[in-house]
Amino acid sequence: MKLITIAAFTMTAALGASAATAEKADTTKVLGEVVVVESAAKAPVPLLPLDVKVIGTATIDNSSETNLLPVLQNHVPGMFVTERGLAGYGVSGGAAGTVNIRGVGGGNKVLFLIDGQPQWAGVFGHSLPDTYVTNDVERVEVVSGPSSLLYGSGAMGGSVNLITRRADKEGFSGSLRAAGGSYGTQKYGVKAGYKHGGLRTFVAASYESTDGNREGMDYWLSNQFASVSYDFSQHWEAGANVMLTETKADNPGSVELSQPLDMWTKMFRTTASVYVKNRYDISSGGIQAYYNYGKHKIDDGISRGKPRDYLFNSKDFNMGITAYQTVKPWQGNDLSIGIDFKHWGGEAWNSQKADGKESPIVDKHVNEFAGYAMMQQAFWSDRLSVNAGVRLEHSSQFGNEWVPQAGFILRPLSASRVKFSYSRGFRSPNIRELYMYGPRNAELQPESMDNFEVELRQWLLDGRLNAGLALYYINGDNLIQQVMVDGAARNMNTGSFINKGFEIDATYRLDDDWTFTANYAYLHTDTRIIAAPKNKLFAEIGYTPGRWQFSVDVMSVWDVYTEQTAESYALLNARVAYTFPFQKPLTLFAKGENLTATRYQINYGFPMPRATVMAGAEWRF
């Protein structure tokens, strides 16, 4: 797979060398770019009463991050992500990358999607954090709160939809990026697009590696992406895309161990889709078929004081078809309808290190079929918009699940907005919970939660100040927990929780050069939740005079539980960049993270690095 990455780099650079048109330097102000929108994928309704935030291209590119999760954590108030070290999240023992939104997360309670395709490991159900790289992604749409009406299982706590990049200029254009820094970290990325009339093609590749901030935490990842689409007319478009990711993460285990472990995980993932979309004044929608496949090989270290003599292996898949259409039957009304079919599962086995002999563990799959409808009606020149919808999901494992949603949006003044919504979310039990190991229980039912939310938003100073306040109440039920039954552990639907809190966000653009962004989230829970901080604050100041870019930000977290302790910490980060006014612009950049060298850990037993620095260059052609 490394050879594939090298070949992709070479091919893409060759495309750029033959570019016929030059790209002007991008002098757009990039900080404070988080936008609050009112629609989500699969339902292009302008007044959908859900809390949706979009993190755009400039914010992603200028973060100098290669993984999306740190960018999302900064700019979505109620989101928190666990980390294990300098780079890479891994799977199995010592894994990180758990995403919580408003205290709901872990496993597959927050659904990640790529262009609307659900992404998760079909056996264990968890998300795939190492595959969410910035090089391929144009923007990210994050829904804080249940998205099960549109996406079904897994979107109980929210959804994160990664929208991939497309060629947006006639001819060839693209960029090359390279960076290096602390602990032998190297990061490379290349992307290029070609547009001619209705034809768009785009290819991207990235590679990163690090020695890690502890011995035995080496990590590398390679990622390749390609897409092609064609506009047959102003109303019809068809396309296809494919993404390949391969990664290896070493794991020495917790620092509390008497001696480091020699654990590692190799992962290969691929996802592909084909689609047809339509766009008319009174109707829009599409149909998409997708396939996601993964293969994992894991050495879990020692067992009962001795090295394991076998490797754990798994293959998983999720595939399906989704079709959706929104029509406008009369003035001010939008009716969205859709159907989804999903087929997911996988197999797991152990293989002996000595002779490769295999011992099966599980080989199962689940089918799900769903239909949904949602209607919205606007009144009084869009001063009031009322929305309601329902989804019926049928699973071959648990039967039927009804998912209602309702709400309204009121605009009392032209620069004010009030939202209220009720939504229900659910999560299907995964293959591990149903069929693997001692606690397995094939009779498990879905987890569920009810979410009530009010949002107030105000634009002031001719739109230069945007401030919002969201209050929410969450009641979770039927959670899957291990309990003792007849002297043995068994997975059962016995858990419940109540989460409530509020979030504040604000962006202020003082002038063309200065931007201030801040958000704060408070979470109260009636039970102890790992990786869900009680308080989280992010604040950033950006200054962009001419071709310079400066930014300083602070991330503060109070009372976040690991498996053993409660952590509180504050991180100071800074970035500087300068773009040379060449015909094909060259940007030099440097960034420092945790500049005060704060000691902290998020994944218990895995201390995070002290101060780190990265520097690099990007050439756009």
User: For the segment 242-285, what is each residue's pLDDT rounded down to a tens digit?
Assistant: 999 999 999 988 888 877 788 899 999 999 999 999 999 999 99
Q: Please give, one letter per residue, the 3-state secondary structure of 528-571.
A: CCECCCCEEEEEEEEECCCCEEEEEEEEEEEEEECCCCEEEEEE
Contact between residue 75 and residue 54 where contact means Cβ atoms under 8 Å apart: no
Region 2-620: CATH code: 2.40.170.20
pTM of whole model > 0.85?
Answer: yes
Where would I find the H helices in 299-435?
Answer: 431-435
51 CA to centre of own chain:
16
What pLDDT, on a 0 to 100 scale, did the predictor assign at position 506?
97
- Residue 438 burial by Cβ neighbours in a 10 Å radius (0-12, 13-18, 19+): exposed
User: For the segment 578-610, what is each residue's pLDDT rounded down to a tens digit?
Assistant: 999 999 999 999 999 999 999 999 988 899 999
Residue 134 pLDDT > 90? yes
What pLDDT, on a 0 to 100 scale, did the predictor assign at position 43?
66
Give the whole-angstrom CA distance, residue 191 versus residue 176: 7
What pLDDT, on a 0 to 100 scale, did the predictor assign at position 46?
53
Residue 51 banded pLDDT, cuts 50, 70, 90: confident
As a whole number of Å, the end-to-end CA separation of the chain is 26
Say which residue the tokens 């010592």 belong to.
Answer: 94
Residue ranges of domains in the chain: 2-620
What pLDDT, on a 0 to 100 scale, did the predictor assign at position 269?
96
Q: Please give, one letter per residue, the 3-state secondary structure of 389-434.
A: EEEEEEECCCEEEEEEEEEEEECCCCCEEEEEEEEEEEECCCHHHH
